[in-house]
């Protein structure tokens, strides 16, 4: 076959599908000669990322290109895992370096500057993949990140996945039940149950666990988004026409303040009373918040009783 002086269309289409990354085998298989491949690198038109691996431009190599490169280096059945899968799936916002690539257990690859290759135990997680480049299913990604994380980090991951509508608590629970072992099984099972009833932020979890439940308050409704109800309520006590809005550390400045105002105005029009608590209130004084909510609910017909928890000062409640 006649030597090609330039990469052909088929090769460049493949490169575009792989974020501008191709292997030597792919290039030669699509009619690029060894001489032309070497010339493209020598002239600075292509870059050599690793032995037998090239990026088809001379600009800065992007994270998606590194992700594809890692999967190609890993070979057949390789896929993104851990923080790399989480970033590709929009579960985390910071691109990880190095990129973690899961490979079959019988594949042994040394670590390289931008890639770590993790050997998967058969059956440790679903063999199914999703996305391009291939990656673990999102439920498995959540479980993998939670395996060695702190309780606070696990709260953040689980609630963020729910907030962003990436995966449901039930999907994560099913994946968890399929794992023979997980060091955070008990905590995850409890958290996922709470998120499943609508607590979709760490602050909402704290309110549910530290304010509402231990003090005997009636269970509030955690609203889900719907086409006919754009003004979501953090906690709605519908029988008492009462709303608790929980203002986290972010999202309540600037435009966020106007969203809060519009939501409060809509509540007034619906004859609903609203109180707001911040992170410092719920995290720092959950018993005080519970007592105040109990009094406000009592004014609206809740019969009680308020139940002091084990952390409540014994002389504070009458």
Q: Which residues of 85-106 are buried (b: 16+ CB within 10 A; e: fewer)?
A: bbbbbebbeeebebbbbbbeee
Q: Does residue 306 lie within any of the structural domains? A: no
Residues with Cβ within 8 Å of 160's Cβ and at least 6 positions away in sequence, in order, are 91
User: What mean pLDDT comes out for the span 52-64?
Assistant: 97
Same domain, 188 and 229: no
Q: Structural domain tally of the chain?
A: 4
Q: Does residue 295 lie within any of the structural domains? A: yes
Same domain, 43 and 84: no
Same domain, 100 and 172: no
Give the pLDDT score at 227.
39
Q: Does residue 21 lie within any of the structural domains? A: yes
Same domain, 177 and 156: yes
CATH of the domain at 270: 3.40.960
Same domain, 85 and 24: no
Domain containing residue 167:
141-196
238 near 316, Cβ under 8 Å? no
Give the pLDDT score at 171.
96
Q: Does residue 271 lie within any of the structural domains? A: yes
Same domain, 258 and 219: yes
**Where does the pLDDT of residue 199 fall: very low under 50, low under 70, confident under 90, or very high at 90 and above?**
confident
Q: Does residue 109 lie within any of the structural domains? A: yes
- Is 254 a residue whose pLDDT tops 60? no
**Where does the pLDDT of residue 201 fall: very low under 50, low under 70, confident under 90, or very high at 90 and above?**
confident
Same domain, 233 and 173: no
- Is 234 a residue whose pLDDT tops 90? no
Same domain, 96 and 182: no
Same domain, 20 and 89: no
User: What mean pLDDT comes out for the span 240-260?
Assistant: 65
Q: What is the pTM of this model?
A: 0.81
Q: Does residue 105 lie within any of the structural domains? A: yes
Q: Does residue 147 lie within any of the structural domains? A: yes
Same domain, 165 and 207: no
Considering only CA atoms, which of 74, 62, 63 is closest in space to residue 23?
Answer: 74
Q: Does residue 213 lie within any of the structural domains? A: yes
Same domain, 239 and 274: yes
- Is 224 a residue whose pLDDT tops 50? no
85 near 141, Cβ under 8 Å? yes
Same domain, 281 and 215: yes
- Tokens 């006649």 correspond to 2
């Amino acid at each position: 076959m006649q030597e090609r002086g330039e990469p052909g269309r088929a090769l460049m289409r493949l490169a575009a599908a792989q974020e501008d990354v191709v292997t030597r085998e792919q290039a030669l298989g699509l009619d690029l000669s060894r001489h032309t491949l070497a010339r493209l690198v020598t002239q600075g038109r292509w870059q050599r990322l690793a032995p037998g691996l090239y990026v088809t431009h001379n600009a800065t190599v992007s994270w998606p290109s590194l992700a594809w490169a890692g999967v190609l280096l890993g070979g057949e059945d390789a896929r993104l895992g851990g923080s790399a899968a989480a970033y590709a799936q929009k579960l985390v916002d910071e691109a990880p370096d190095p990129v973690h690539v899961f490979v079959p257990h019988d594949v042994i690859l040394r670590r390289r500057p931008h890639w770590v290759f993790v050997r998967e135990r058969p059956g440790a997680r679903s063999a199914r993949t999703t996305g391009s480049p291939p990656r673990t299913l999102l439920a498995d990604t959540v479980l993998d990140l939670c395996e060695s994380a702190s309780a606070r980090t696990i709260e953040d991951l689980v609630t963020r996945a729910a907030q962003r509508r990436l995966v449901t608590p039930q999907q994560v629970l099913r994946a968890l039940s399929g794992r023979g072992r997980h060091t955070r099984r008990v905590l995850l099972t409890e958290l996922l149950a709470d998120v499943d009833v609508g607590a979709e932020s760490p602050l909402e979890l704290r309110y549910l666990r530290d304010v509402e439940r231990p003090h005997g308050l009636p269970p509030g409704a955690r609203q889900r988004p719907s086409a006919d109800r754009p003004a979501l309520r953090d906690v709605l006590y519908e029988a008492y026409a009462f709303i608790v809005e929980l203002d986290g550390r972010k999202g309540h400045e600037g435009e966020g303040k106007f969203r809060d105002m519009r939501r409060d105005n809509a509540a007034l029009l619906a004859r609903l009373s609203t109180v707001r608590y911040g992170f410092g209130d719920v995290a720092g004084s959950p018993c005080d918040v519970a007592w105040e909510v109990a009094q406000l609910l009592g004014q609206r017909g809740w019969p009680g009783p308020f139940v002091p928890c084990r952390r409540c000062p014994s002389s504070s409640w009458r």
